[in-house]
Chains A and B, each alone.
Chain A
Amino acid sequence: DVKVTQSSRYLVKRTGEKVFLECVQDMDHENMFWYRQDPGLGLRLIYFSYDVKMKEKGDIPEGYSVSREKKERFSLILESASTNQTSMYLCASSFAQGPLHFGNGTRLTVT
């Protein structure tokens, strides 16, 4: 069974802090994704990666960056956290054209 693990369930950070959200998958999937989920807006794609050291912008990349140094790990970075980045962040992975497998999410609060 695919396991996508997000390192933190809850995070509270201050405005202006640099924030790292970590995600690890154990199924050797090439593709990894970061989404954020907000009420009334569904899931919106921030960044995705089809291979190691490769990244592509999703629909809402502003204020975020990503890092994929190893195949199993995909990190989301908030360079300078702002209150409008308070959200539920979901990491996902997939193999080829298969369905996405999601982690349990990280609820980030920026105060």
Chain B
Amino acid sequence: DQQVKQNSPSLSVQEGRISILNCDYTNSMFDYFLWYKKYPAEGPTFLISISSIKDKNEDGRFTVFLNKSAKHLSLHIVPSQPGDSAVYFCAGGQGAQKLVFGQGTRLTINP
């Protein structure tokens, strides 16, 4: 039972454009969501989070949107830069601890 799903294994975006990564979840008890970024040979690093009391959280070029009725969240990166090329994982849970992760989306930013 995949409680958190990232249905796009990969995404390719032109440098300077907007990257939109999507994530769906099934567990309505989840009240906290996070995005992590992972480069090859490194562990995931925390990017941005959102709690269920909000529908948007912004940090510089990164914005996360949460649609609770659709059980959907998305990560917007604008403008996209070559250094953004990585695998992105979304995660959800009750609180920030026992998280369930999606399968990951490989983002490639083309010059």
Contacts and interface: CB of A to CB of B under 8 A. Distances in A.
A90 B97 contact: no
Interface string A72-94: 00000000000000000010101
A94 B49 CA distance: 14
A104 B98 contact: no
A44 B101 contact: yes
Interface stretch (B13-21, B39-47, B61-69, B76-84): B39-47
A100 B100 CA distance: 12
A58 B99 CA distance: 10
Nearest to A6: B43
Contacts, number: 56
Interface residues of A, number: 25
A105 B44 CA distance: 9
Contacts of A99: 34, 46, 49, 96
A29 B93 CA distance: 19
B103 A42 contact: yes
Contact of B96 (A9, A41, A45, A97): A97
Nearest to A35: B101
A102 B42 CA distance: 9
Contact of A31 (B9, B45, B97): B97
Interface of A: 4, 9, 31, 35, 40-45, 48, 58-59, 90, 92, 94, 97-105
Interface of B: 4, 6, 9, 34, 36, 41-46, 49, 89, 91, 95-104
Nearest 9 CB-CB pairings of A with B = A102-B43, A43-B101, A99-B46, A42-B103, A42-B101, A97-B96, A104-B43, A102-B44, A103-B43
26 contacts: A4-B43, A35-B101, A40-B9, A42-B4, A42-B101, A42-B102, A44-B101, A45-B100, A48-B97, A48-B98, A58-B98, A59-B100, A90-B44, A92-B43, A94-B96, A98-B96, A99-B96, A100-B46, A100-B96, A100-B99, A101-B46, A102-B36, A102-B44, A104-B41, A104-B42, A105-B41
